[in-house]
Amino acid sequence: MVYESLRQALRTLLRHRARAFLTMFGVVWGTSAVIFLVSWGDGVRTMLEVGFFKTGKNMGEVWAGRIGEDFTPAADRRYLWFNLEDVEALRRRTRLASRVGAEAWEMLPAAFGQRALTVDVRGMEQHSQEIRGVPLVAGRRISQADVSHRRRVVVLGDRVRRKLLGAQGGIGSWIRLGGKPFRVVGMLRPMGSQLNQDRMQIDDQVWVPISTVHANWPAWWTHEPVVSKIIYRMVDRHQVDAAEREVRAILADRLQVSATDDEAIPIWSSIHMLNQIPVDQTRGMMWTLSIATLVIGGIGVLTMMLDAVHERRHEIGLRLAVGARRRHVLFQFFVETFAITALGGLMGTLLGVGGCWALTQLQVPDMIPVPELSASIVLGALGVMGSVGLLAGVIPAWRAAQIEPAIALRQE
């Protein structure tokens, strides 16, 4: 009986190919819309996370500014800076940051053979490299030994490598930074655009030991080893504000400023930006919209099937007259509706998955989101499609089963 019903349902669909396809179209469209829209929404989120976290995951950045107007007479708005001891102190005392790193900046001319350009030089150490988390394509990072011995070694960002070394140089090449020879020991992976950047993108930077910066290009206003920026990785991204308060309080204590003076000690965490973007709401909206599309498709199927039941009431009457039970008729029409929905759903899934796949194959610029397909989205879409099919199938099937067998005798 099951086999017969399936066979007959498929046959009916084949006979009415055009009508079946038009009916299916809503479901095809709805299913592919669910998959495509939600995947794309996920792609946007991933793009944002990747964009913001390229320069360091769950990272907070701390500068030293001037004492805030509210905290001191205008005449005494001192300039502030951090030194390595402040970094050490923060590292010792913090509870909400798992790592604390120091960076020192210089803009310096770089030369290799007859090529030259001005580059963003970052004095780095173990911790700051760890927080940045930029992978290497060749060579090694700045080591603890490099920092201890103030070695003139350099790790090149991708664009600097291409512009300065070109095809001629590699690991072991010597370049000149601010007039002094440095040996290339590592190359960073190309990072592309970053949503969070301080002056320069990673690709335009060169990294050297922080001690080497201090030894070769000391600050002109102090003998202290100046740290241009302190970066830290917070323990828990949900405690971003608490971490900022704690870090500021510790550093304010060192610098003898107020613990709430965010002009003296500005802190920036990219997570704030991520949190401001209503990623989850957007995802919810995508689901709602696409489910609505699918439901509308289901209503199309429902109407068509109700119509078909009416049109085929003589057929139903005849089936009943020759011995079909109500459940046979119920099952037949249910299977037919479900087959349309399932077929449409599968076509829609293929279309949606195919579309997503095609987009991921395209070489799109860095900041264009690409749909991010996941099994849960496909299963979710199929689940919704299945429910729609069930609902759209039950009503016409029930109607069909209510038809009086005596209709078989009536002439139209």
Partner 1 sequence: MARPLIALEGIHKRYPMGANEVQALRGLDLAISPGEFVAIMGPSGSGKSTLLEILGCLSHPSDGDYRLDGRSVAGLSVDQLAQVRGEKIGFVFQSFNLLPRLTAIENVELPLVYASTPRRERRSRAENALARVGLVDRGDHLPSELSGGQCQRVAIARALINRPSLVLADEPTGNLDTATGDEILTLLHALHREGNTILVATHDAKIGTQATRVVTIQDGKIARDENREAAA
**Residues 6 or more apart from 25 whose CB is under 8 A from it?**
297, 300, 344
Handedness of CA 197, 203, 205, 211 (dihedral sign): positive
Cβ closest to partner 1, residue 70 vs residue 311: 311
Cβ closest to partner 1, residue 200 vs residue 407: 407
User: Whole-number minimum distance, CB 407 to partner 1, in Å?
Assistant: 9
Question: Which one among 2, 18, 74, 322 touches partner 1, defined by CB under 8 A?
Answer: 322
Cβ closest to partner 1, residue 74 vs residue 322: 322
Written as one string, the DSSP assignment of 19-39 is HHHHHHHHHHHHHHHHHHHHH
Cβ closest to partner 1, residue 69 vs residue 404: 404
Residue 318 found at the interface with partner 1 (CB under 8 A): yes
Residue 307 found at the interface with partner 1 (CB under 8 A): no
User: Whole-number minimum distance, CB 27 to partner 1, in Å?
Assistant: 23
Question: Which one among 314, 360, 387, 391 touches partner 1, defined by CB under 8 A?
Answer: 314
Token reading at 140: 């090694």
Token reading at 72: 């001191």
Residue 6 found at the interface with partner 1 (CB under 8 A): no
**Neighbouring C-beta atoms of residue 378, cutoff 10 Å:** 19
Residue 310 found at the interface with partner 1 (CB under 8 A): no
Cβ closest to partner 1, residue 212 vs residue 337: 337
User: Whole-number minimum distance, CB 404 to partner 1, in Å?
Assistant: 7
User: Whole-number minimum distance, CB 2 to partner 1, in Å?
Assistant: 11
Q: What is the C-alpha separation between 122 and 176, in angstroms, rounded?
A: 15
Residue 19 found at the interface with partner 1 (CB under 8 A): no
Size of the site for partner 1 (CB under 8 A): 26
How would you classify the pairing of strands 180-188 and 115-124?
A: unpaired
Q: Identify any residues that bridge with 100 across adjacent strands, giving them in sequence order.
A: 232
Residue 12 found at the interface with partner 1 (CB under 8 A): yes
User: Whole-number minimum distance, CB 350 to partner 1, in Å?
Assistant: 28
Question: Which one among 122, 161, 163, 319 touches partner 1, defined by CB under 8 A?
Answer: 319
Residue 405 found at the interface with partner 1 (CB under 8 A): yes
Q: Alpha carbon of 181 to those of 112, 115, 138, 174, 187: distances in Å? A: 10, 14, 20, 6, 17
The contact pattern for partner 1, residues 326-365, with x = CB under 8 A and - = no contact, is xxx-------------------------------------
Q: What is the C-alpha separation between 152 and 182, in angstroms, rounded?
A: 5
Q: Are 234 and 98 in contact (CB under 8 A)?
A: yes
Residue 321 found at the interface with partner 1 (CB under 8 A): yes
Q: Alpha carbon of 68 to those of 61, 119, 229: distances in Å? A: 19, 32, 18
Q: What is the C-alpha separation between 172 and 152, in angstroms, rounded?
A: 12
176-195 positions binding partner 1, by CB under 8 A: none
Q: Alpha carbon of 183 to those of 35, 68, 137: distances in Å? A: 51, 42, 17
Residue 137 found at the interface with partner 1 (CB under 8 A): no
Where do contacts with partner 1 occur on this chain (CB under 8 A)?
A: 1, 4, 8, 11-12, 15, 314-315, 318-328, 404-406, 408-411
